[in-house]
Amino acid sequence: MKLLRINHLGIAAPGLDEAMARMERLFGMGADHTEDVPEQKVKTAFFPVGESRLEYLESTDPEGPVGKFLAKRGPGIHHVCFEVDDIDAAVSQLVAKGVRMIDPQPRAGAHGCRVAFIHPSETGGVLMELSQEGRA
Ligand code: CO
Protein backbone atom coordinates (compact mmCIF):
# COMPACT_ATOMS: atom_id res chain seq x y z
CA MET A 1 0.00 0.00 0.00
CA LYS A 2 1.26 3.45 -0.85
CA LEU A 3 0.07 6.65 0.83
CA LEU A 4 0.46 9.32 -1.84
CA ARG A 5 -0.42 12.47 0.11
CA ILE A 6 -2.82 13.95 2.62
CA ASN A 7 -5.79 14.48 0.34
CA HIS A 8 -7.71 16.51 2.90
CA LEU A 9 -8.39 17.18 6.56
CA GLY A 10 -12.03 16.88 7.57
CA ILE A 11 -13.31 19.50 10.03
CA ALA A 12 -16.66 19.13 11.80
CA ALA A 13 -18.50 22.46 11.90
CA PRO A 14 -21.87 23.54 13.29
CA GLY A 15 -22.70 25.15 9.93
CA LEU A 16 -21.13 25.53 6.49
CA ASP A 17 -22.25 29.16 6.13
CA GLU A 18 -20.31 30.06 9.24
CA ALA A 19 -17.30 28.01 8.11
CA MET A 20 -17.32 29.70 4.70
CA ALA A 21 -17.57 33.16 6.25
CA ARG A 22 -14.63 32.33 8.51
CA MET A 23 -12.42 31.10 5.65
CA GLU A 24 -13.28 34.21 3.67
CA ARG A 25 -12.45 36.46 6.62
CA LEU A 26 -9.22 34.68 7.55
CA PHE A 27 -7.80 33.80 4.16
CA GLY A 28 -9.94 35.57 1.55
CA MET A 29 -10.77 32.09 0.31
CA GLY A 30 -14.00 30.58 -1.02
CA ALA A 31 -14.98 26.94 -1.32
CA ASP A 32 -14.15 25.39 -4.69
CA HIS A 33 -16.61 22.53 -4.27
CA THR A 34 -19.71 21.84 -2.19
CA GLU A 35 -21.55 18.58 -2.05
CA ASP A 36 -24.33 16.86 -0.13
CA VAL A 37 -23.41 13.35 0.98
CA PRO A 38 -26.79 12.06 2.22
CA GLU A 39 -25.46 8.56 2.99
CA GLN A 40 -23.15 10.18 5.56
CA LYS A 41 -25.76 12.72 6.65
CA VAL A 42 -23.47 15.66 5.90
CA LYS A 43 -23.04 18.63 3.63
CA THR A 44 -19.46 19.35 2.70
CA ALA A 45 -17.46 22.33 1.44
CA PHE A 46 -13.90 21.94 0.15
CA PHE A 47 -11.23 24.65 0.32
CA PRO A 48 -8.04 24.23 -1.69
CA VAL A 49 -4.75 24.25 0.23
CA GLY A 50 -1.91 23.65 -2.21
CA GLU A 51 -2.09 20.02 -3.24
CA SER A 52 -4.38 19.27 -0.29
CA ARG A 53 -7.73 20.58 0.95
CA LEU A 54 -9.84 21.31 3.97
CA GLU A 55 -13.20 19.56 3.99
CA TYR A 56 -15.73 21.27 6.24
CA LEU A 57 -18.55 18.97 7.34
CA GLU A 58 -21.98 20.14 8.48
CA SER A 59 -24.22 17.49 9.96
CA THR A 60 -27.75 17.14 8.60
CA ASP A 61 -28.81 14.67 11.29
CA PRO A 62 -27.78 14.56 14.98
CA GLU A 63 -27.72 10.74 14.73
CA GLY A 64 -25.28 10.80 11.80
CA PRO A 65 -21.53 10.28 12.31
CA VAL A 66 -20.66 13.99 12.27
CA GLY A 67 -23.70 14.90 14.38
CA LYS A 68 -22.56 12.44 17.04
CA PHE A 69 -18.98 13.71 16.81
CA LEU A 70 -20.11 17.32 17.32
CA ALA A 71 -22.23 16.37 20.33
CA LYS A 72 -19.37 14.44 21.91
CA ARG A 73 -16.30 16.51 21.04
CA GLY A 74 -17.55 19.79 19.60
CA PRO A 75 -16.27 21.45 16.41
CA GLY A 76 -12.76 20.62 15.22
CA ILE A 77 -10.67 18.18 13.24
CA HIS A 78 -12.78 15.12 12.45
CA HIS A 79 -10.60 13.01 10.15
CA VAL A 80 -7.49 12.89 8.02
CA CYS A 81 -7.71 11.50 4.51
CA PHE A 82 -4.80 9.74 2.82
CA GLU A 83 -4.84 9.31 -0.90
CA VAL A 84 -3.80 5.82 -1.99
CA ASP A 85 -2.94 4.47 -5.42
CA ASP A 86 -5.14 1.37 -5.14
CA ILE A 87 -7.91 1.47 -2.54
CA ASP A 88 -9.13 -2.07 -3.21
CA ALA A 89 -5.67 -3.45 -2.49
CA ALA A 90 -5.19 -1.14 0.52
CA VAL A 91 -8.47 -2.17 2.16
CA SER A 92 -7.87 -5.87 1.42
CA GLN A 93 -4.45 -5.65 3.07
CA LEU A 94 -5.89 -3.99 6.18
CA VAL A 95 -8.75 -6.48 6.44
CA ALA A 96 -6.29 -9.37 6.02
CA LYS A 97 -4.29 -7.98 8.97
CA GLY A 98 -7.43 -8.01 11.10
CA VAL A 99 -7.66 -4.21 11.24
CA ARG A 100 -11.09 -3.01 12.35
CA MET A 101 -12.62 -1.03 9.48
CA ILE A 102 -15.68 1.23 9.50
CA ASP A 103 -15.85 0.37 5.78
CA PRO A 104 -14.61 -3.18 5.13
CA GLN A 105 -15.18 -2.41 1.45
CA PRO A 106 -14.55 0.87 -0.40
CA ARG A 107 -17.64 2.97 -1.06
CA ALA A 108 -18.50 6.15 -2.95
CA GLY A 109 -17.37 9.40 -1.32
CA ALA A 110 -17.46 13.09 -2.30
CA HIS A 111 -15.75 14.25 -5.50
CA GLY A 112 -16.39 10.91 -7.23
CA CYS A 113 -13.71 9.32 -5.04
CA ARG A 114 -13.86 5.85 -3.58
CA VAL A 115 -13.22 5.90 0.15
CA ALA A 116 -12.95 3.67 3.23
CA PHE A 117 -12.61 4.66 6.88
CA ILE A 118 -10.39 2.86 9.38
CA HIS A 119 -11.89 2.60 12.87
CA PRO A 120 -10.31 5.15 15.26
CA SER A 121 -9.70 2.37 17.81
CA GLU A 122 -6.95 1.20 15.42
CA THR A 123 -5.27 4.56 14.93
CA GLY A 124 -4.73 6.12 18.34
CA GLY A 125 -7.99 8.03 18.24
CA VAL A 126 -7.71 9.72 14.85
CA LEU A 127 -10.33 8.79 12.30
CA MET A 128 -8.43 7.94 9.08
CA GLU A 129 -9.95 7.89 5.62
CA LEU A 130 -8.36 6.27 2.61
CA SER A 131 -9.34 7.66 -0.77
CA GLN A 132 -8.63 6.94 -4.39
CA GLU A 133 -9.46 9.65 -6.86
CA GLY A 134 -12.22 8.88 -9.32
CA ARG A 135 -11.54 8.58 -13.00
CA ALA A 136 -13.71 11.65 -13.78
CO1 CO B 1 -13.21 13.19 4.00
Question: Which pLDDT belongs to residue 83?
Answer: 96
Q: Write out pLDDT tens, residues 22-37.
A: 999 999 999 999 999 8
CA distance 46 to 11: 10
Q: What is the CATH number of the domain that holds 47?
A: 3.10.180.10
Q: Give the structural domain span for 53.
A: 3-132
Cα maximum dimension of the chain = 46
Q: What is the pTM of this model?
A: 0.91
Angle at 130 between CA 11 and CA 58, to 5 degrees: 25
Question: Which pLDDT belongs to residue 2?
Answer: 92
Question: Which pLDDT belongs to residue 136?
Answer: 42
Show the low-confidence residues of the chain (pLDDT under 50).
136
Task: Using the mean position of ligand 1's atoms as its centre, give its distance from the Cα of residue 9 in Å.
Answer: 7
Task: Using the mean position of ligand 1's atoms as its centre, give its distance from the Cα of residue 109 in Å.
Answer: 8
43 phi and psi angles, rounded to 5 deg = -110, 140
Query: Which three-class secondary structure state does DSSP give residue 9?
Result: strand
Residues with a beta carbon under 5 angstroms from ion ligand 1: 10, 55, 81, 129
Count of domains forming the chain: 1
